[in-house]
Amino acid sequence: MSNQELDQLRQQVDEMNLEILKLVNDRARLVQEIGKVKEKQGVNRYDPLRERDMLNLIKQHNDGPFENSTIEHMFKQIFKAALELQEDDHRKALLVSRKKKAEDTIVEIKGEKIGDGNPHFVFGPCAVESYEQVAAVAQSIKSKGLKLLRGGAFKPRTSPYDFQGLGIEGLKILKRIADDFDMAVVSEIVNPADIEHALEYIDVIQIGARNMQNFELLKAAGAVNKPVLLKRGLAATIDEFINAAEYIMAQGNGQIILCERGIRTYERATRNTLDISAVPILKQETHLPVFVDVTHSTGRRDLLLPTAKAALAIGADGVMAEVHPDPAVALSDSAQQMDLEQFDEFYRSLLSSAHPVKL
Ligand code: PEP
Ligand code: MN
């Protein structure tokens, strides 16, 4: 074969490559159209029966030189790539996605603008135990010029014999504190039926780690006009976390703060493993503000300050930590809540280290 012949054959191969390229991309565009139709109809993107029919048709028309198994392998790759494209389109379509909305969402809570680029803080006891107990912490928070107070009235406890919280009585205490101290309160709701009622008492609905995939609760919180602080599930992937937020937003409520609170791993040195890289990932993937709960992630008082510093340094919009006037006798999370003196020191150190972050 002369060199000229070889060149000609190669030229034909080049042309064919370009034809295949065009066909593969044209096919991908068609599959994207199908994806949009399926999305509207709410049907599953992957349809194994349809895939089998397509492969059978291709094999029926295969007159070589490739074996059917080779053809099947090549086409499966084409199918797979197109399906991934559909899934990518689907992710872009999520309401919470940064691709859907480029600007940061700012969640406003009684004048506090969470997600405005400045760090914000949610402090308070693990559980509401009495008016006096919460008031002591509220006083300390207020003296720091802060506004957001946390306190659990419905406590989802591992053991049914542990303190379960004061329930509605606890919410009433929080409301009195909010009025008396001009503060905004964040409190966990565990039952969808309590959401409406809770609106009278609290400023932010917290959905706890154990309920991150309680879809009825997510939908109920999504159906009201009240900010939601959504915590990452005990063993939830970031994708599952984002989808949980999507459940809330899909109902119309876009005032959502995501909160990384550690995940369960084999590590026993800390109560959970703080997934600090989740913060920039969530900030990139969604437009929602992101908090880090340093108390439940570490379960260790000595790690509250370093992890809070890390959270702010990596771009978190805020930090949550638990404070109790007398942690030794706290009805829950006694080991890791700060007392008022430790709280003063924690906040002072955090502020000085957060420089040059604007506070
Ligand atoms: C809480 O913040 O009170 C709490 C119970 O945290 P988590 O849901 O993250 O365990
Ligand atoms: Mn707690």
CA of 63 to the centre of ligand 2 (A): 68
In a shared domain, residues 173 and 315: yes
Mutation test residue for ligand 1: of 129, 185, 206, 258, the one with most atoms within 8 Å of CB: 206
Tell me the ligand closest to 212's alpha carbon. Answer: 1
Domain count, the chain: 2
Q: What is the C-alpha to C-alpha distance for residues 138 and 147, in angstroms, rounded to an integer? A: 9
In a shared domain, residues 234 and 307: yes
Ligand 1 close to Cβ of residue 189 (< 6 A): no
In a shared domain, residues 232 and 121: yes
Atom of ligand 1 at shortest distance to CA of 293?
9
**Residue 101 covered by a domain:** no
CA distances in angstroms from 355 to 25, 79, 274, 319, listed in the order given: 50, 52, 23, 16
In a shared domain, residues 60 and 124: no
**Residue 255 covered by a domain:** yes
**Residue 290 covered by a domain:** yes
> Residue 359 CA to chain centroid, in angstroms?
24
Please say if the pLDDT value at position 317 is more than 90.
yes
Structure tokens at 104: 């940061």
In a shared domain, residues 42 and 120: no
Q: How confident is the model at residue 314 (pLDDT cuts 50, 70, 90)?
A: very high
**Residue 98 covered by a domain:** no
CA of 246 to the centre of ligand 2 (A): 26
Ligand 1 close to Cβ of residue 126 (< 6 A): yes
Mutation test residue for ligand 1: of 264, 293, 324, 334, the one with most atoms within 8 Å of CB: 293
Please say if the pLDDT value at position 358 is more than 60.
no
**Residue 359 covered by a domain:** no
Please say if the pLDDT value at position 45 is more than 80.
no
Task: Provide the 8-state DSSP code for 246.
Answer: H
Q: What CATH number is attached to the domain comprising 26?
A: 1.20.59.10
CA of 43 to the centre of ligand 2 (A): 41
Closest CA to 323 of 122, 143, 170, 153: 122
Tell me the ligand closest to 209's alpha carbon. Answer: 1
In a shared domain, residues 121 and 190: yes
Look at phi and psi of residue 94 and say left if phi exceeds 0, alpha if psi is from -120 to 50, else beta: beta
Ligand 1 close to Cβ of residue 333 (< 6 A): no
pLDDT tens per residue, range 70-112: 999 999 999 999 888 888 777 778 999 999 999 999 999 999 9
Please say if the pLDDT value at position 320 is more than 50.
yes
In a shared domain, residues 176 and 241: yes
Q: What is the C-alpha to C-alpha distance for residues 44 and 306, in angstroms, rounded to an integer? A: 45
**Residue 265 covered by a domain:** yes
Helices (H) and strands (E) in the chain, counts: 12, 10
User: Within 13 Å and on the Cβ side, how many CA atoms surround 205?
Assistant: 31
Ligand 1 close to Cβ of residue 232 (< 6 A): no
In a shared domain, residues 287 and 312: yes
Question: Which one has a higher pLDDT value, 137 or 38?
Answer: 137
Instruction: Look at ligand 1, atom 5, and give the residue with the nearest C-alpha.
Output: 208
pLDDT at residue 91, rounded to an integer: 72
Atom of ligand 1 at shortest distance to CA of 232?
9
Atom of ligand 1 at shortest distance to CA of 188?
3
Cβ count near 194 (within 10 Å): 18
Q: What CATH number is attached to the domain comprising 179?
A: 3.20.20.70
Of the candidates 35, 67, 93, which is a domain's last residue?
Answer: 93
Helix ranges (H only) for the chain are 3-41, 48-60, 68-92, 131-143, 168-181, 195-198, 215-222, 238-250, 278-285, 294-298, 304-313, 340-354
In a shared domain, residues 43 and 144: no
CA of 83 to the centre of ligand 1 (A): 38
In a shared domain, residues 173 and 54: no
pLDDT tens per residue, range 182-228: 999 999 999 999 999 999 999 999 999 999 999 999 999 999 999 99
**Residue 102 covered by a domain:** no
Please say if the pLDDT value at position 357 is more than 70.
no
Angle between helices 278-285 and 238-250 in degrees, nearest 10: 40
Ligand 1 close to Cβ of residue 188 (< 6 A): yes
pLDDT at residue 237, rounded to an integer: 98
CA of 229 to the centre of ligand 1 (A): 11
Of the candidates 93, 126, 143, which is a domain's last residue?
Answer: 93
pLDDT at residue 359, rounded to an integer: 45
Q: What is the C-alpha to C-alpha distance for residues 240 and 262, in angstroms, rounded to an integer? A: 14
Atom of ligand 1 at shortest distance to CA of 320?
2
Ligand 1 close to Cβ of residue 331 (< 6 A): no
In a shared domain, residues 128 and 175: yes
CA of 252 to the centre of ligand 2 (A): 29
> Residue 241: which domain range?
107-352
**Residue 197 covered by a domain:** yes
CB 178 within 8 A of CB 153: no
Q: What is the mean pLDDT of the chain?
A: 95
Phi and psi of 18, rounded to 5°? -70, -35
CB 112 within 8 A of CB 119: no
CA of 96 to the centre of ligand 1 (A): 23
pTM of the model as a whole: 0.83
CA of 127 to the centre of ligand 2 (A): 7
Ligand 1 close to Cβ of residue 296 (< 6 A): yes
Instruction: Look at ligand 1, atom 9, and give the residue with the nearest C-alpha.
Output: 209
Tell me the ligand closest to 272's alpha carbon. Answer: 1
Closest CA to 306 of 350, 336, 276: 350
Q: What is the C-alpha to C-alpha distance for residues 14 and 305, in angstroms, rounded to an integer? A: 62
Of the candidates 66, 93, 120, which is a domain's last residue?
Answer: 93
% of the chain surpassing 90 pLDDT = 89
In a shared domain, residues 134 and 56: no
